[in-house]
Amino acid sequence: MAVELLTEVPSLLRDGHFVFFEGGWPEAKEGKWFQIQRAQQIKLDIPRIVSSGSSIDLDFAAPSNGGLTDLNLSLLPTSVNTFYEILIGMKGNPFMYPMYNNTYFQKLEVTNVYPDTGDRNLRYLGFFDEFDSPFEAPRLREHVVKDQQPPVLRLYNDQILDEVLIIRFIINRCRLVETTFRSPEEIREMRRLGRVVKYHQWFNYG
């Protein structure tokens, strides 16, 4: 899903909850209901130094030999039956810009009105900071599955000195089983009670 900013710290999905995927997810998930069999919460803290006037990109993909690197976070599942619900909190001055397919996600509809860290006006468009999603009470949420295009978080420092940004990821690792609902009434009820998770392409309608 495209990263979303919530008005309060969200509740995590738990065993027995239902999830529906729509908007362009990989074929194994798109247009299907799943029930969560097991959910496990894992915390990961990532500190990064961002030089003054510079940016770095943190990729959710794993490096070729596995593990974690300075730029690869390994935050995509490797099993088709696993789904990650991820909360993201921050501590420090640098900004965070979500990106998909090498494109800024948060942009306006007028031509050339999108984040640009090299532009003194556009660098203040479409970013999140520690006040939006505090380190100890994260309100940014992302959803990821196997084989999707990896999200990227671009970090930018507009301060005159180098700054440290500490990012907290709370990863809710969910084991899924596909579920079929037969009647329109069941489907309507599950769309009301379950969570509909939209792929980031769904938002790029214009």
Quote the pLDDT of residue 87: 98
Into how many domains does the chain fold? Answer: 1
Contacting residues for 204 by C-beta, under 8 A, at least 6 apart: none
Q: Where are the beta strands (DSSP E) in the chain?
A: 4-5, 18-22, 33-50, 55-59, 82-91, 95-100, 103-104, 140-145, 152-156, 163-179, 195-198
Quote the pLDDT of residue 188: 76
Instruction: Find out whether 25 and 196 touch, Cβ atoms under 8 Å.
Output: no
- Residue 161 CA, chain-centre distance (Å), reads 28
Quote the pLDDT of residue 145: 96
Quote the pLDDT of residue 206: 43
Give me the tens of pLDDT residue by residue for the chain, a chain 206 residues long.
Answer: 578 899 898 899 999 899 999 989 999 999 999 999 999 999 999 999 999 999 999 999 999 999 999 999 999 999 999 999 999 999 999 999 999 988 888 888 898 999 999 999 999 999 999 999 999 999 999 999 999 999 999 999 999 999 999 999 999 999 999 987 668 887 777 777 789 898 876 665 44
Q: Among 86, 92, 169, 76, which Cα is nearest to 128's?
A: 92
Q: Among 135, 126, 140, 151, which Cα is nearest to 5's?
A: 140
Element (H, E) at 192: helix 184-193
**DSSP assignment of 138-159, as one string?**
--EEEEEETTSPPPEEEEE--S
The structure tokens 């959710």 sit at 60
Structural domain for 119, as ranges: 4-203
Amino acid at 87: L
